Structure 1
Amino acid sequence: MILEDLYRLLKSGHVQAQGIVDTMTQPIVVLDHNLCVVSANNAFVRTFEIERDDILGQSFFDLGDGQWEIAELRELIASVIPKAAAVIGFEVTHDFPAIGQRTFLVDARRLIHPGNNSTNILILFDDVTERRRQDEERDFVIAETRHRLKNLSAVMRSIAMHTQTEDRTAAEYRDIFLGRFEVTLRAQEIAFADQTIDFEVLLRQSVGEPGVDRLRCEGPAVTLASSKVLAVGMIFHELGTNAVKYGALSVPDGQIDVVWALESGPRDRTYLVCEWQEKNGLPVTPPRRRGYGTELIEGTSAHLGGKVELKYDPGGFAATVKIPL
């Protein structure tokens, strides 16, 4: 029931009016011309956990710990009597005695009966604490989603712009781009859910088919925060892609050994140090020029505050990746 409905009900002088007011779930209080409490319904007593006799005759602005003593609210309510005005939706947030921090919308209107020049004021309180919390959560989710989608769009644009087309067919470009796109989406799903992930699980997901069955992993359990999932996933996806194209995974008997450990660093930081070693692959020669994959691996490691060393040994490509946790 809104203030206007309640006002019309009480103005009619209906014999059941007071009983209806007492059954309402919204707190209601009536003040006299001195702004002292004349009556309060059961919801007001329950909501603020007070005794009715303790507030009758007391100034509204002295109730509790003075939570209603707000200059603007006092001015608005004081203007209701001489101006026959109404206060609609005045918001009050306060740490109330007994019930903690709550947010109320306050409505107030002069209560006039036919043939009666009453100066009583009817005040109704609408508890919107939960509604405000839900609104804030919704706004946060929308803002966060927009931010992450913008970041994802920027990442995909960068991948598209930097995936080289020289000496590649359209099908080769498509496969390379879609591979990077897929690992980015998998990482973003984890990041969106604000989840952590086991490093070995992320490593195997990033390398993907067909290399995962020829990937030998050894190291302690390491949990990565969601903020590092995309970057770490992209690093090892690029290493796995290069192994499929040029290294150990380009031949049937090739395999990859990945061994990692935790090391202490400056300022008590802990680092994940990972050794990637390819075996039984084709002879390795250093690339004639730096490609986007190399720049991505080195640049992403630096962005995380770590570093990477790429070694083009004839017996097999190797990489050392050091990432702060």
Structure 2
Amino acid sequence: MPTTLPVRNLEEANLLAQAIVNTIPEPFLVLDADLRVLEASRSFYEIFKVDPAETQGCLLYALGHGQWDIPALRVLLETILPDRVAMDGFEVDHEFPAIGHRIMLLNARKVLYDESDTMAILLAFRDVTERRAIEHEKAALLERSEELRRQNEVLLEEMRHRVANSLQIIASILLLKARAVSSDETRFHLQDAHQRVMSVAAVQQHLDMTDGIDQIEVGIYLDKLCAGLGTSMIGDDQPVVITVASDTGMIPSAKAVSLGLIVTELIINALKYAFPDHRDQAAIAVRYTIDQDDWTLIVSDNGVGKAADKPPKADGGLGTTIVAALAKQLDAQVTMATGPAGFAVTVARVAAATPLLRAA
């Protein structure tokens, strides 16, 4: 025959249960099967501004002048919970009379007693209003950032289109003027300007293929650039093979612009001056090497080179001036070497400072 628990122990158990409830930092309720309040934590009274005398034994929906008569809460307690022992993270979004708008996550548990049909419901509340506000703010910022990104992409595409069209128009005008003038010298300068505009267009075209990526694989970039230059500038009267050898590495797109213009300028000069007469196996080699933060670019040809009595000058032609200016932007030095095997230009960024341009 089971023994009856002494009243003293029941009182102690109730005191312990009340102490546990009051220790919980978040609002907490103990309801009976009829949804009347058996116990409420101190934090519940403090947060929801209700009086204990008007809470104990009262129907949950009647508390605080009906502030808990919430459709979502009724769904939880009257529809969902009867079929489940527990429910976690049930969200209630409500305007409370005393504390204003709040978003609460409710955790509910049914307590069933073995020797009786009675039941209790434990209901814990967690205020996530500020967290939801931060989440919504982050989501709004993300959406705004995505919209700005889409706008920037549209503007970038429009700018690319305008730049390409403008370069094409300028190149066409220069070519038309070159055909119309009678002076050979003027025609030469106009054709030279046309080629340089086309070189800028070639660099722009290959950078456009990166879709705005800030870091570019230098080997692939130089391969595509030189292939495009060969297709557009090498004629059938003097076939020239352009080869590219490059270390693997990523470079910023800003650096790629200057590097591409240097390569283009040097290839144009080689095609113009290295092979004045037909030469079998004419070739231009582009080599790019990387040594940690330093790098070296060499563009060489197996053409006629330059006469020994006419060494390259620092204040040489337009091509030399362009290469020197671009190298300065890259904090690099330029060296020229000529001989029976052809002509080579080295552009290198090294730790030791050397003159910007010197003749070999």
TM-score, normalised relative to structure 2: 0.47
By how many angstroms is 1:100 displaced?
7.8
Task: Label 1:50 to 1:191 Cα distance change in 2 as closer, same or farther (>3 A).
Answer: farther
Give yes or no for contact 1:250–1:281 (8 Å, CA) kept in 2: no
The alignment yields a C-alpha RMSD, in angstroms, of: 4.8
| Residue in 2 that maps onto 1:77 | none
> Separation in 2 of the partners of 1:282 and 1:54?
82
Question: Does structure 1 residue 101 correspond to structure 2 residue 138?
Answer: yes
Give yes or no for contact 2:336–2:346 (8 Å, CA) kept in 1: yes
> Separation in 1 of the partners of 2:298 and 2:201?
26
| Residue in 1 that maps onto 2:147 | 135
> Separation in 2 of the partners of 1:134 and 1:278?
48
- State the Cα deviation string for residues 1-26 of structure 1 (Å, max 9, x = none): xxxxxxxxxxxxxxxxxxxxxxxxxx
Question: Does structure 1 residue 274 correspond to structure 2 residue 297?
Answer: yes
Task: Label 1:260 to 1:191 Cα distance change in 2 as closer, same or farther (>3 A).
Answer: closer
Q: Secondary structure at the match of 1:253?
A: coil
- State the Cα deviation string for residues 97-127 of structure 1 (Å, max 9, x = none): xx78333xxxxxxxxxxxxxxxxxxxxxxxx
Q: Secondary structure at the match of 1:241?
A: helix
Which of 152, 157, 169 aligns to 2:186? It is: 169
Which of 286, 305, 315 aligns to 2:331? It is: 305
- Residue 269 of structure 1 aligns with an amino acid whose one-letter code is D
> Separation in 2 of the partners of 1:303 and 1:207?
26
Task: Label 1:218 to 1:136 Cα distance change in 2 as closer, same or farther (>3 A).
Answer: closer
> Separation in 2 of the partners of 1:263 and 1:53?
60
| Residue in 2 that maps onto 1:286 | 311
Which of 182, 199, 209 aligns to 1:183? It is: 199
Question: Identity of counterpart residues, as a percentage?
Answer: 16
In the alignment, structure 1 segments of 5+ residues that lack a partner are 1-33, 42-48, 69-92, 104-127
Between 181-190 and 139-148, the greater mean CA deviation after superposition: 139-148
> Separation in 1 of the partners of 2:150 and 2:290?
41
Q: Secondary structure at the match of 2:258?
A: helix
Question: Does structure 1 residue 215 correspond to structure 2 residue 242?
Answer: yes
Which of 287, 300, 305 aligns to 1:260? It is: 287
> Separation in 1 of the partners of 2:284 and 2:303?
11
- Residue 194 of structure 1 aligns with an amino acid whose one-letter code is G
By how many angstroms is 1:259 displaced?
5.7
Q: Secondary structure at the match of 2:130?
A: coil
Give yes or no for contact 1:247–1:278 (8 Å, CA) kept in 2: yes
Q: Secondary structure at the match of 2:201?
A: helix
Give yes or no for contact 2:96–2:102 (8 Å, CA) kept in 1: no
> Separation in 2 of the partners of 1:287 and 1:215?
23
> Separation in 2 of the partners of 1:287 and 1:55?
82
By how many angstroms is 1:295 displaced?
0.9
| Residue in 2 that maps onto 1:226 | 253
Give yes or no for contact 2:247–2:290 (8 Å, CA) kept in 1: no
- State the Cα deviation string for residues 242-279 of structure 1 (Å, max 9, x = none): 12222136533363352635343xxx5141x2333322
Task: Label 1:218 to 1:205 Cα distance change in 2 as closer, same or farther (>3 A).
Answer: same
- Residue 233 of structure 1 aligns with an amino acid whose one-letter code is G
By how many angstroms is 1:231 displaced?
1.6
By how many angstroms is 1:54 displaced?
7.0
> Separation in 2 of the partners of 1:315 and 1:134?
55
Question: Does structure 1 residue 237 correspond to structure 2 residue 264?
Answer: yes
- State the Cα deviation string for residues 78-98 of structure 1 (Å, max 9, x = none): xxxxxxxxxxxxxxx9423xx
Give yes or no for contact 1:39–1:56 (8 Å, CA) kept in 2: no
- Residue 205 of structure 2 aligns with an amino acid whose one-letter code is E
Question: Does structure 1 residue 67 correspond to structure 2 residue 130?
Answer: yes
- Residue 270 of structure 2 aligns with an amino acid whose one-letter code is A
By how many angstroms is 1:204 displaced?
3.6
Question: Does structure 1 residue 194 correspond to structure 2 residue 212?
Answer: yes
- State the Cα deviation string for residues 172-227 of structure 1 (Å, max 9, x = none): 34433332223322322343422535133333434553177423444544555433
Q: Secondary structure at the match of 1:248?
A: coil
Task: Label 1:52 to 1:205 Cα distance change in 2 as closer, same or farther (>3 A).
Answer: closer
> Separation in 2 of the partners of 1:148 and 1:323?
30
Whose RCO is larger (CA < 8 A, sep 6+)? Answer: 1
Aligned residues: 227
| Residue in 1 that maps onto 2:5 | none
By how many angstroms is 1:40 displaced?
7.5
In the alignment, structure 2 segments of 5+ residues that lack a partner are 1-64, 73-87, 104-126, 175-180, 351-360
- Residue 293 of structure 2 aligns with an amino acid whose one-letter code is R
- Residue 292 of structure 1 aligns with an amino acid whose one-letter code is L
Task: Label 1:65 to 1:53 Cα distance change in 2 as closer, same or farther (>3 A).
Answer: closer
> Separation in 2 of the partners of 1:183 and 1:282?
23
Q: Secondary structure at the match of 2:134?
A: strand
